[in-house]
Amino acid sequence: MRSIRFLFAALLAGALGLPAAAFETSASAAYVLDTTTGTVLLDKNADMPLPPASMSKLMTLYVAFEAVRAGQLSLDERLPVSEHAMSYGGSTMFLDTTDRVRVEDLLRGIVVLSGNDACAVIAEALSPDGTEAGFSRFMTERGQRMGLTNSVFKNASGWPAEGHVMSMHDLAILSQRIIEDFPEFYDMFAEREYRFDGRAPSNIYNRNPLLALDIGVDGLKTGHTQEAGYGLTASAKQGDRRVVFAYTGLDSASARAREGEAIINWAFRQFTQRSVVKAGEEVARVPVWMGAARTIGLTPAKDLDTLLPALGGTTVEVEVVYSGPVHAPVTQGDPLAELVLKPEGLPETRVPLFAAESVAQGGFLQRLGVVSGQLAQRLWSNIEGTL
């Protein structure tokens, strides 16, 4: 594996700034991701499987959104309520077995009202065997395919159950997937109240404490049980940047609210987004073996930005990592290398680099020249070794 290292000079304007101060969270586990640049801003026990409480309802919603898009469910379809679904306590829509509830109402009942009963109704409708347990096994398998490697579901609502766990990293991955995969449903998460059928006046408000602060928060889900403590999975967008985060283990609803606001203020105020290279712009050139050209350019497929401390400019160490030399022939767009960004005080980010142009295999004389040069170099090395 070979590499080319350099400092990205375009970011050197102005006085050198100090690294942004690390965020000291009182949560037992937390994960903060700037999704615009792919930068992890905070990782505290982020891959530890923990009881997620109602934050695991996000997985039930993801599977339900997939089912609606695939035509397995329609938003106007009415689903029956079983005795099992009606038996749930905690936060509910107060459904009973005489109800047949529209899918769209159930989805809003989960998103806004955190309805445990609504989760069970959706689960039984989509379960391979008609049970919530069967749906939970399906969710676990679906989550594994999505990269949720530290998540196991025992029910659809996050109701306390042995072995029902998620990591904060998994919750952030899931949140990002909901935002990107289902924009047509994501607006639901910003709704501050939902009055279903007038029957639940005590449960009409969204529990997300950050929605009313006008700091860019537009989702996603709170969670609380005695075992898990108070947690929140949320996302905020300010300007062109979006941050997704998840944390758990706070000791009160007020502490949860303060922690979320502090994370947002820190993530947006302490870091600024800077352009590194544009899509199609050549980053470096690397040698080509037996090619019609001696070198080939490397370029990213999309614009690449990074985060830097907001107080002044600073340098970013950049490394191009590749297996070289590159063997001809090469087709434009072939993946050849990785661009590794190492901003001061932040984790590194890796981005694939692709061939900027095609390079055909060299002709006979070109290849003969390369081989002859290699043989001459080895012969000279052997002669030097005997002197």
Structural domains in the chain, sorted by start? 2-13+275-364 (2.60.410.10), 29-269 (3.40.710.10)
- CB 78 within 8 Å of CB 66: no
Phi and psi (nearest 5°) for 249?
Answer: 95, 10
Whether 200 has a pLDDT exceeding 80, the answer reads no
Q: pLDDT tens digit string along 21-60?
A: 678 999 999 999 999 998 999 999 999 999 999 999 999 9
Integer Cα distance of 357 and 292 in angstroms: 12
- CB 327 within 8 Å of CB 6: no
Q: pLDDT tens digit string along 76-104?
A: 999 999 999 999 999 999 999 999 999 99
Whether 378 has a pLDDT exceeding 70, the answer reads no
- Nearest CA to 24 out of 266, 367, 250, 228 is that of 266
Collapsing DSSP to helix, strand or coil, 22 comes out as: coil
Taking residues 194-204, what's their average pLDDT?
Answer: 85
pLDDT value of residue 19: 52
Express the helix, strand and coil content of the chain in percent, nearest 5 each: 30, 30, 40
CA-CA-CA-CA dihedral for 23, 24, 30, 31, to nearest 10: 10
At 366, the pLDDT band (50, 70, 90 cuts) reads: low
Tokens of 19: 């690294």
Tokens of 365: 């004389």
Taking residues 364-378, what's their average pLDDT?
Answer: 46
Taking residues 3-18, what's their average pLDDT?
Answer: 44
Q: pLDDT tens digit string along 326-337?
A: 888 999 999 999
Dihedral of alpha carbons 335, 340, 341, 345, sign: positive
- Nearest CA to 150 out of 123, 170, 121 is that of 170
pLDDT value of residue 4: 62
Whether 383 has a pLDDT exceeding 80, the answer reads no
Collapsing DSSP to helix, strand or coil, 300 comes out as: coil
Whether 12 has a pLDDT exceeding 80, the answer reads no
Element (H, E) at 151: none
pLDDT value of residue 192: 96
- Pairing outcome for strands 2-7 and 29-34: unpaired
Tokens of 168: 């904060």
Whether 142 has a pLDDT exceeding 90, the answer reads yes
Highest mean pLDDT: which range of 246-255, 270-279, 371-380: 246-255
Tokens of 267: 């993530």
CA-CA-CA-CA dihedral for 262, 204, 169, 19, to nearest 10: -10
What does pLDDT average to over the chain? 88
- CB 105 within 8 Å of CB 79: no
Integer Cα distance of 64 and 71 in angstroms: 11
What is the separation, in whole angstroms, between the first and last Cα of the chain?
A: 32
Output 21 or 18, whichever has higher pLDDT.
21
Q: pLDDT tens digit string along 127-138?
A: 999 999 999 999
Collapsing DSSP to helix, strand or coil, 244 comes out as: strand
**What global pTM score does this model have?**
0.84
Whether 112 has a pLDDT exceeding 50, the answer reads yes
Phi and psi (nearest 5°) for 51?
Answer: -60, 120
- Kindly write down the DSSP assignment for every residue of 252-273, as one continuous string: SHHHHHHHHHHHHHHHHHSEEE
Output 199 or 117, whichever has higher pLDDT.
117
pLDDT value of residue 372: 45
Whether 17 has a pLDDT exceeding 50, the answer reads no
Integer Cα distance of 51 and 68 in angstroms: 28
- Pairing outcome for strands 326-327 and 241-250: unpaired
For the purposes of burial, counting CB atoms within 10 Å of the CB of 323, is it exposed (0-12), middle (13-18) or buried (19 or more)?
A: exposed
Taking residues 184-202, what's their average pLDDT?
Answer: 91
